[in-house]
Structure 1
Amino acid sequence: MKAVRKSTRRASSFAMLAGVLAAGLVLGVAELAGSFFSTRSAPLIALGSTFIDFTPSWLKDFAIDTFGTNDKLALFIGMAVTIVILAAILGYLAWRRWILGVAGVLFMGAVMVAAVVSRAGASALDAVPSVIGTLAGLAALRWMIVKLHAAVPAAAQADDDGVYSADEPSPERAKTGASRRAFFAAAGVTAVVAGATAAGGAVISAARSTVNAARRQLSFPDPVDTAKPVPEGVDVALEGVDPWLTPNPDFYRIDTALQVPTIDVDTWELRIHGMVEEEIRMNFQDLLDSELIERHITLTCVSNPIGGDLVGNAKWLGYPIRKLLERARPTEGADMVLSTSTDGFSASTPLPVLQDERDAIFAIAMNDEPLPLEHGYPVRMVVPGLYGYVSATKWVVDLEVTRFADATAYWTDRGWSEKGPIKTQSRVEVPKPFAKVAAGTYRAGGTAWAQNRGIDKVEVQIDDGPWEEATLAIEYTVDTWRQWTHEVQLEPGSHRIRSRAYDPDGVQVEERTDTVPNGASGWHSVQFSAE
């Protein structure tokens, strides 16, 4: 009996291994087949995107707060662990009752298909790779399970009641069947094929994609209205304070795209429709032939916590959105523009904001180079004074002029506010939390922002002492952030430093609130020590 129990445990482990390998084959074959279809057919991306869509807001906020810009990596790791666990369970069920394994694999295949066809712009044809992958995985699982039954002693295959399934090999066949080597051969072949197909899909997709190469070769005409020169005094040059101009690789990225869209500029088109007198369609060349402007604008994510780093400042080249709206001529009663990305994300921007004199643009370049793929190439929206979730649509392809009463957007459907004006904020960057600094005269520093209003003053407080006015760097425009520094006298021991900013309407809100539903508020404080 001990030998039987040992053999049963070993067989169970082998069966779970078979399930994991079969799942790998499902995804590998689907990815390979998907390389001959549209990018929307990729099952992993579709599953991840569907998971994001159905994830409650509190869990998304937790992921962003915990992992920041690594939230997508955390999601993929979680998906991988989940798939492995479920696949192992299916492998075990298939060994005990083949019909249960079949039902489980088909159910998972149906979930993949549903995730794929529910993506924006997907068609029924995009489900074909998932179907092919599911059938390949089912065949491989059957092959390995048959070999496993043949390699395991008969007594180890019986149910708790000692009964054998009609569709499973008999004890007699088990005694005379192939050895364990046959199972491992089947498992090895499945693993190799799974890896080869996944790699093949990646290679084919990479070979077919010329988007990034085309992006690097783009050249832009000179803007009709260039950004004014940046004076030397905008940067306080204090180590530890982020540079005034954020380099593209360091610019924060928060969006819902698990796979960065790759769009051919030759096929890109922007449509403006809805409550307008004239529907407009514009291609990329039309945009290049327009009167482009250049502006420095600071962007902020609504998920940025007090003192957070989900904010950045860049120089953008683009076409004013208000000019395109002037051509479309919105009709009476319209109060919102619903912008949509090629991946289905949508944002609801107040129409008056896009029509006033602020420099809201369709951006095509960032810091003197074509938009990076992950930042919206070939075209994205940049709107000063609004959080990105209601304004900064990347990979934008559609603008519908409508009303807040008639349409909702991705994040407003999930409990966030409709209009999202940026709140006045300041943060302490020097010293860092829990830093140890030298006692005596110490130079603290940080950044403040209030896009479309501007920063008039920043004050700093050490422990419970008086608020003292900090020295502000030169203001470039009201649409960019502003750095500050302040010299303080520190006694040895533990200290707290706080900052607060003033815009033309007064001091920033002291009460601390969460990022939901319209951005965090509160004075930033940092604990540190002097010695």
Structure 2
Amino acid sequence: MTNTSWRPAAWRGFGWGVLAGLALVALMYLAGTFLGLRPLPQALSGPVLAIMPGFVFGFLIDTLQHAGKVVEEFGLIVAMVVGLGVLGAAWAVASGRWRLAQSALVFAGIGWLVVTALLLPISGVGFLGLNDGPTTPLVWGLLFAIYGVILQMGSASPLPDQADPGRRRTLGAVPLAIGAVSLGVLALRLVPDWYRAIFNPPEAGLSGLSPELTPVANFYVVSKNFSDPVVDAQGWTLSVGGAVDKPLKLSLADLRALPSSTEYVTMECISNNVGGGLMSTGGFTGVRLSDLLAMANPRANGTWAAFKARDGYAESLPMSLIRGAPELLVAYDLDGAPLPEAHGFPARILLPGHYGMKGPKWLDSIDLVDHESGGYWEAQGWDHNAVVKTTARFDVPRDGAIVKLGAISLSGVAFSGTRGISKVEYSTDGGRSWLAADFKPPLSPLTWVLWSAAWTPGSEGAYQLRVRATDGGGVAQDAKATASYPTGASGYHTIQINVAKS
């Protein structure tokens, strides 16, 4: 093969590699559904986030919100297909130089080795992916065998001009059919979930003034995972170990049998934009973390509690904070029912007054250690303490609303973690002047307050409305607008409305 003749072969091989790659990716997701195989984009999401600079991730989260995870998964799928296309190009060039029967299967084997011996270990599922089960390398082997068979179809010699037109059309339709079926499978498997994530997240189901207690179906959900773990309650245990004299291993029944406490708590995601919906209130029931750890007789050198979750999430808290926060729970119920899977069933850490990143879901173990063991998001540069900032938002009216001239109801929520709210104010002239709003007493010292006001504009026109809050200690909300990375967003929620006579 000459230096110029390899290029057409490489492009042909790339095309067939992309086609075979689409089929492999489609079958990979089907294997995930029916055989429990972890799709490669899901496995690699953690390492990708680990190498992404925190400020870049923060920008993407602030800009894309729920769409960020969709963009990441789509990008990893594209990268996977392109990589398999490059493997196909290498096969085409090599097969032009060295004639080898079923050479595509040899290159498929190379692809299998790259995935099972390099990418899966990087993703944390062990050599050959054996941490996910002994069948993992076998399933990947089958997927790459199918990839190799489709790739080998690209080596067929072109039909002579006098060949039967029907046969020519049939052979030409085969790659089109493979591509169409593969794209169809991916669309059916992924697009509904992507659509729900972007356009219909749980919190989007609420309109008007927020209720004091958020319905569980509308409680915001944020997760680092493409697919959250499903934990079997019968086989689950919570282990408490490390620097303790009496290690514990508790089943869910054991945990529920311990003295319990119920706390009404507002939770907020650290990536919530000012005025955003990633904030919800619920009644959580569980065991006080301080009481649970006391049962294990902590040693003096156990100065930090390190948490590990089923999805690999990690977090740690100082024992000084835990001992001084009786509201900190190992929670197993939300609003009187077991935690939904998306909220961490069978148990999660609940840390009121701090952003949700400090409360691991799907909790598996707690170990007392002598140092801060780090956290998943802290490793990306997010704040280690993650204390909730004072915030207030408009629920009614919505930004861009057209309202009728006359008495207008303004309402929303204000929240300041465990510090409480002492004052809520609103402005109808872009912040030049401020008026006090009324607010209801909170459900507990750990929840938001619902505020309201009646305002009658003097004339038609466009108005810029703002709202701000002051915490229970008299400290006013930060007026400076900042993005969520790395300590949580700040600034005043600002909306534009138009007042008309009719």
TM-score w.r.t. the length of structure 1 is: 0.76
Change (3 A) 1:60 1:113: farther
Does the Cα contact within 8 Å between 2:302 and 2:368 map onto a contact in 1? yes
Q: CA offset at residue 487 of structure 1?
A: 1.6
Q: Helix, strand or coil: the match of 1:427?
A: strand
| Aligned amino acid, residue 382 of structure 1 | L
Paired residue for 1:520?
A: 489
Paired residue for 1:316?
A: 284
Residue from 107, 110, 117 that aligns with 1:106: 110
1:407 aligns with 2:407: no
- Measure the CA separation in 2 of the matches of 1:108 and 1:290: 49
Q: CA offset at residue 486 of structure 1?
A: 1.2
Q: Helix, strand or coil: the match of 2:226?
A: coil
Does the Cα contact within 8 Å between 1:339 and 1:393 map onto a contact in 2? yes
Q: CA offset at residue 286 of structure 1?
A: 0.4
1:366-385: CA deviations, max 9, x gaps? 12322111111111111111
Paired residue for 1:427?
A: 393
Does the Cα contact within 8 Å between 1:143 and 1:186 map onto a contact in 2? no
1:451 aligns with 2:417: yes
Change (3 A) 1:92 1:51: same
Change (3 A) 1:105 1:430: farther
- Measure the CA separation in 1 of the matches of 2:181 and 2:482: 52
1:117 aligns with 2:121: yes
Residue from 326, 334, 338 that aligns with 1:370: 338
1:326-354: CA deviations, max 9, x gaps? 11233335443221111111112232332
1:442 aligns with 2:408: yes
1:383-440: CA deviations, max 9, x gaps? 11111112x110011112234x452111111112222111111112222222222233
Q: Helix, strand or coil: the match of 1:434?
A: coil
Paired residue for 1:487?
A: 454
Matched positions, count: 466
Q: Helix, strand or coil: the match of 2:259?
A: coil
1:395 aligns with 2:362: yes
Does the Cα contact within 8 Å between 2:315 and 2:373 map onto a contact in 1? no
Q: CA offset at residue 33 of structure 1?
A: 6.6
Does the Cα contact within 8 Å between 1:427 and 1:448 map onto a contact in 2? yes
Q: CA offset at residue 519 of structure 1?
A: 1.5
Residue from 156, 178, 196 that aligns with 1:150: 156
- Measure the CA separation in 2 of the matches of 1:91 and 1:288: 55
Change (3 A) 1:123 1:242: farther
Change (3 A) 1:430 1:438: same
- Measure the CA separation in 2 of the matches of 1:266 and 1:144: 43
Q: Helix, strand or coil: the match of 2:424?
A: strand
Change (3 A) 1:72 1:145: closer
Residue from 19, 44, 59 that aligns with 1:47: 44
Paired residue for 2:197?
A: none
| Aligned amino acid, residue 148 of structure 1 | G
1:40-59: CA deviations, max 9, x gaps? 75434213333333333233
Q: CA offset at residue 448 of structure 1?
A: 0.4
Q: Helix, strand or coil: the match of 1:456?
A: strand
Q: Helix, strand or coil: the match of 1:326?
A: helix
- Measure the CA separation in 2 of the matches of 1:137 and 1:119: 19
- Measure the CA separation in 1 of the matches of 2:332 and 2:251: 12
Change (3 A) 1:31 1:419: same
TM-score w.r.t. the length of structure 2 is: 0.80
Stretches of structure 1 lacking an aligned partner (at least 5 in a row):
155-174, 203-237
- Measure the CA separation in 2 of the matches of 1:443 and 1:268: 49
Paired residue for 2:347?
A: 379
Paired residue for 2:250?
A: 282
Paired residue for 1:76?
A: 73
| Aligned residues with identical type, % of pairs | 26
- Measure the CA separation in 2 of the matches of 1:192 and 1:517: 43
Q: Helix, strand or coil: the match of 2:43?
A: helix
- Measure the CA separation in 2 of the matches of 1:474 and 1:468: 19
- Measure the CA separation in 1 of the matches of 2:40 and 2:263: 40
Does the Cα contact within 8 Å between 2:260 and 2:286 map onto a contact in 1? yes
| Aligned amino acid, residue 487 of structure 1 | A
- Measure the CA separation in 2 of the matches of 1:481 and 1:329: 36
Q: CA offset at residue 14 of structure 1?
A: 6.4
Q: CA offset at residue 81 of structure 1?
A: 2.9
Q: Helix, strand or coil: the match of 1:116?
A: helix
CA-atom RMSD in angstroms: 3.8
- Measure the CA separation in 1 of the matches of 2:488 and 2:171: 56
1:261 aligns with 2:229: yes
| Aligned amino acid, residue 22 of structure 1 | A
Does the Cα contact within 8 Å between 1:270 and 1:282 map onto a contact in 2? yes
Equivalences for residues 8-87 of structure 1 within 5 A: 15-27=13-25, 39=36, 41-87=38-84
| Aligned amino acid, residue 61 of structure 1 | G
Q: Helix, strand or coil: the match of 2:156?
A: helix
Paired residue for 1:207?
A: none
Q: Helix, strand or coil: the match of 2:389?
A: coil
Q: Helix, strand or coil: the match of 1:440?
A: coil
Stretches of structure 2 lacking an aligned partner (at least 5 in a row):
191-205
Residue from 307, 311, 315 that aligns with 1:339: 307
